Amino acid sequence: MNLKGIKKKISRADRDWTPYMRRALELAAESVEKGDIPIGAVLVNVDGKIVAQAHNERELRHDPTAHAEVLALRQAGAGEKAWRMTGMTLVVTLEPCVMCAGALSLARVDRIVYGAADPKAGATGSLYKIHEDKRLNHQIELVSGVLEAECRELLVSFFRKKRLEADEKKKRP
Ligand code: ZN
């Protein structure tokens, strides 16, 4: 690798992902307004520009595949007129599932940055390690735990509220 290549790699790895995660958190909060679990994602190009932003719309679209990551990839593909997302970073509030990790691998993104881990369904460390599976022809760099507490709290409070609402319903005669 030449010096220019090394410099480029260092500057990209050093990027502060916090502002992008803040935006993903704002998007996640918008999911709740539509009755969806709060998960948000932004796709960032090599220059640090957000090229797509989405939140979970599974309930809204009646679509089991309408996860924030997949919607962001579709948006970027339509905008850039290209399916290949080389050089891009997907920033998402929750660790991607099997489907999304697979889609990100197919999209050839350089990096996944996530906030909270998902021990029940996470596919980039928790249950599977799809991003670094050498049997696939593309591996993805991983950054985890960015604004982890905020990302987790948003989900925890969503499910707490859901449980309270369900309990209230039961109490009604
Ligand atoms: Zn997913």
pLDDT, one tens digit per residue, over 58-83 is 999 999 999 999 999 999 999 999 99
Catalytic residue IDs: 69
pLDDT, one tens digit per residue, over 14-42 is 699 999 999 999 999 999 988 999 999 99
| Biggest distance spanned by C-alpha atoms of the chain | 73
CA 96 to ligand 1 centroid distance, Å: 5
CA 113 to ligand 1 centroid distance, Å: 14
Name the H helices within 34-173: 58-61, 68-80, 98-106, 148-171
Structure tokens at 98: 């099997």
